[in-house]
A and B are shown apart, each in its own frame.
Chain A
């Protein structure tokens, strides 16, 4: 019995001495305080809530610009309305990635930004006169007849010049625009109101490392939004990456296509700013640096810079770009794929994050 004890003891001692030697040389030996509460608090207070509030403000401006236009239908007010519309569209780009809780439940992104828009059906609705505002709410099948893409069609698609677009608007058109804007406004308000103190506290206190923890939910939607709403919808599909032919008619802001690149630029800036974090707030970038993986952080920043560079090299009109030289967009797609590679391998692995997959056992 006795010699056994000695054996175990000496084994333990050698083990401990080995470990202590090893951890000394380890840069991460001190242990990074993986303070999830701080991260979540910063996300809510510095990113999610202020950005949603700002989207709400631009949407309010859109509503008031429309009211002005409705009472005084001048070309000048029309131009102002269009400007308000585009500002709201831009700020929507930033918050589309917060697709959880209320935003997810009410299909916020689906109702506000499904394109290509079904312009034929909109025309039918307007011509028939049987249209009522409730139609837009009736089912998710109605999502391609409303939101920003519907406004794009009604503001930019009825004629070829600003004046033509303005003059083409009938009372029925204006009723339809009113319904679309009201719906954008009510959905944005609903999302904005949902972030009350209680919801904030619930989000912050959900520090679980499980799939349903706030960290994983945010990461999942962040990656999914980048893949589906930014890369696929704005770049890959129009560029013909998913099909044999290019598909210029599938770009965002098809009718006001000269503005399409702005939307892409804005959405990707939103992606970047969330990665870096505002001011001193915590972010994925800080977390990576904290656990001693600055190499991944640098790679990420480098890839982001490459994408911006490639975006700056294309025409403001994505439709024109696809029609003349789709390869430039394919290049953006490729750069974005590399970025997804970093997100889904290096960042996911090193931060132990999950993309919501099926729940299953491992070993």
Chain B
């Protein structure tokens, strides 16, 4: 009984946490965690860009295809042909800029814009972790990640160097990570995942050649263990990392979990992004000593600055040469002296808080939009993206399109590979919005070929999480005159099964 009482009292402590939000917003902490976060983020983004380039994916995914699946509302984002390389170059260079903290604001803006542009070209490549990087890089623009351990702070300490920053800057990054994990965990609370261990059952059986563990992958117990652990991990890990006594253990779990998923599934850089990002949960002291070690390792000289307050930039006793030189340089562009007045800073903080409040409200609400669509989300995928639904479905589809000339009644079937890449065919076959876009593409193509009002029909089969494949789209509906919108698509055939849960 006493145990339970204690447990409840602990729960109230959690409640207290929410009461501390106002103080959280006004507390300052050392800037070291932001610097560490910046270094890892810049480094990983640079490696990601290199990796994408080295694998020849720029050519395969953004240059070779004849057709691109744009996002609804972002049709104006067009592929750039050979200029795509310049786009990736921008991403790569700005990632280095972020890594070094050099012209950080400009670098982070360039990174965000180029990265998001690339992502918006073709939703075939949509991945939750690309979305994560996109919105993370958006909020990073507004946070002073160059406050320490950066070239900006080195060359212009007066303007950039800060020993401390508002605690909520770090809280914002933690919150975003927390949302990713918790929402991913909530999405796993469904009967396919927990009661049937799907789709992990399918995936693990196919990984018979996995070192050491592979021989256990044929057993149901393994599938259930992985499923349940995955769900609990996602739901709990942000809280475990926030709770100091469990933090170390939690972080070991983070590393083991993400390395395992990396070895099992082709998920690219995502595990490394999470492994390094979650360091933000560690204490200031940890980050300070980590930076010191980095400094020693790379023989970086200490920045000769003894800045004290968070926003006392107006009067710091910064060291001689560098600051005065760059200060005079800056004068020509803008007037930092006036900009950094206490009043101005307070206003800026206010705007920033409003922006973050709006941003997080959106992040918290947007994933729930699927409730406005009837039938099974995993089946019709309306409201599926941008919601941290990771590794939840094993879907395979086969879609055969028929063009009918209404004037002559003549019809013929399309071979998808004449229009799309294999990767696009794979994505298109299971997602209704892709199917519709492709149908319109075919309609436009055959209008040019001389059929005045071509009708487009699709016969498509889809299997979801091991269920027997069945017809996905109403084969009698002429897709050429169906329009895309946020409204439910009535031509998606019913799932005729139930997956219980969120």
Asked if B209 contacts A207 (CB within 8 A), the reply is yes
| Chain B nearest CB, measured from A310 CB (Å) | 17
CA distance A240 to B413 in the complex (A): 9
Determine which of B225, B391, B408, B466 lies in contact with A349 in the assembled complex, contact meaning CB atoms within 8 Å: B466
CA distance A359 to B6 in the complex (A): 52
Q: Which residue of A lies closest to B201 (CB)?
A: A28
Asked if A360 contacts B266 (CB within 8 A), the reply is yes
B477 at the interface (CB under 8 A from A): no
Which of A4, A20, A32, A295 has most B Cβ within 10 Å?
A: A4
B3 at the interface (CB under 8 A from A): yes
| Chain A nearest CB, measured from B402 CB (Å) | 9
Interface residues on B, range: 35 or more
**Which residues 326-353 of B have a CB within 8 angstroms of A?**
none
Asked if B413 contacts A31 (CB within 8 A), the reply is no
- Known contacts A337-B400, A362-B265; A19/B224 CB under 8 A: yes
Asked if A348 contacts B205 (CB within 8 A), the reply is no
Contacts of B390 in A (CB 8 A): 363
- Known contacts A209-B208, A360-B266; A350/B391 CB under 8 A: no
Q: Contacting chain B: which of A118-126, A166-174, A241-249?
A: A241-249
Asked if B267 contacts A362 (CB within 8 A), the reply is yes
Contacts of A356 in B (CB 8 A): 422
Determine which of B10, B202, B413, B426 lies in contact with A3 in the assembled complex, contact meaning CB atoms within 8 Å: B10
Report A327-363 CB contacts with B as 1/0, cut-off 8 Å: 0000000000100111011101111110111111111
Asked if B10 contacts A31 (CB within 8 A), the reply is no
- Known contacts A291-B205, A341-B398; A33/B422 CB under 8 A: no
Asked if B220 contacts A344 (CB within 8 A), the reply is no
Task: Classify the secondary structure of A's interface with B.
Answer: loop
- Known contacts A357-B422, A358-B422; A29/B206 CB under 8 A: no
Q: Contacting chain A: which of B299-307, B311-319, B456-464?
A: B456-464
CA distance A306 to B110 in the complex (A): 59
| Chain B nearest CB, measured from A286 CB (Å) | 15
| Chain A nearest CB, measured from B59 CB (Å) | 11
Asked if A31 contacts B218 (CB within 8 A), the reply is yes
B359 at the interface (CB under 8 A from A): no
Asked if B396 contacts A344 (CB within 8 A), the reply is yes
Asked if A352 contacts B205 (CB within 8 A), the reply is yes
Asked if B220 contacts A242 (CB within 8 A), the reply is no
Asked if A208 contacts B10 (CB within 8 A), the reply is no
Asked if B469 contacts A23 (CB within 8 A), the reply is no
| Chain B nearest CB, measured from A19 CB (Å) | 4
| Chain B nearest CB, measured from A342 CB (Å) | 7
Asked if B225 contacts A19 (CB within 8 A), the reply is yes
A15 at the interface (CB under 8 A from B): yes
| Chain B nearest CB, measured from A210 CB (Å) | 8
| Chain A nearest CB, measured from B424 CB (Å) | 9
Asked if A23 contacts B220 (CB within 8 A), the reply is yes
Interface residues on A, range: 35 or more
Asked if A19 contacts B60 (CB within 8 A), the reply is no
Q: Which residue of B lies closest to A299 (CB)?
A: B468
Contacts of A30 in B (CB 8 A): 219
Asked if A3 contacts B207 (CB within 8 A), the reply is no
Contacts of B426 in A (CB 8 A): 357
Asked if B221 contacts A350 (CB within 8 A), the reply is no
Asked if A361 contacts B206 (CB within 8 A), the reply is no
Determine which of A3, A11, A348, A360 lies in contact with B125 in the assembled complex, contact meaning CB atoms within 8 Å: A360
- Known contacts A242-B412, A345-B461; A340/B219 CB under 8 A: no
CA distance A35 to B267 in the complex (A): 26
B421 at the interface (CB under 8 A from A): yes
**Which residues 45-88 of A have a CB within 8 angstroms of B?**
none
CA distance A291 to B205 in the complex (A): 9
Which of B206, B391, B395, B397 has most A Cβ within 10 Å?
A: B206
CA distance A349 to B203 in the complex (A): 9
| Chain A nearest CB, measured from B272 CB (Å) | 12
Contacts of B228 in A (CB 8 A): 15, 18-19
B129 at the interface (CB under 8 A from A): yes
| Chain B nearest CB, measured from A349 CB (Å) | 4
Which of B10, B267, B415 has most A Cβ within 10 Å?
A: B415
Determine which of B127, B397, B412 lies in contact with A361 in the assembled complex, contact meaning CB atoms within 8 Å: B127
A22 at the interface (CB under 8 A from B): yes
Q: Which residue of A lies closest to B6 (CB)?
A: A3
Q: Which residue of B lies closest to A6 (CB)?
A: B3
B55 at the interface (CB under 8 A from A): yes
Contacts of A260 in B (CB 8 A): none
Sample of 18 more A-B contacts, CB < 8 Å, known A345-B462, A346-B463: A4-B246, A19-B228, A207-B209, A242-B412, A341-B469, A345-B397, A346-B468, A349-B394, A349-B396, A349-B463, A356-B422, A357-B422, A357-B425, A359-B55, A359-B266, A360-B61, A360-B266, A363-B390
28 inter-chain pairs at a CB distance below 8 angstroms, sorted by A residue, are A3-B10, A6-B3, A11-B232, A19-B221, A29-B219, A34-B208, A207-B208, A209-B209, A232-B415, A240-B412, A242-B412, A242-B415, A244-B405, A244-B408, A244-B410, A244-B412, A295-B468, A299-B468, A342-B461, A344-B396, A345-B398, A345-B462, A348-B396, A349-B466, A352-B202, A352-B207, A356-B422, A360-B57
Residues of B within 8 A of A (CB): 3, 6-7, 10, 55, 57, 60-61, 125, 127-129, 195, 202-203, 205-209, 218-221, 224-225, 228, 232, 245-246, 265-270, 390-391, 394-398, 400, 405, 408, 410, 412-413, 415, 421-423, 425-426, 459, 461-463, 466, 468-469
Q: Which 10 A-B pairs have the closest CB atoms?
A: A352-B206, A361-B268, A31-B218, A345-B469, A357-B422, A341-B461, A23-B220, A345-B463, A31-B219, A349-B396
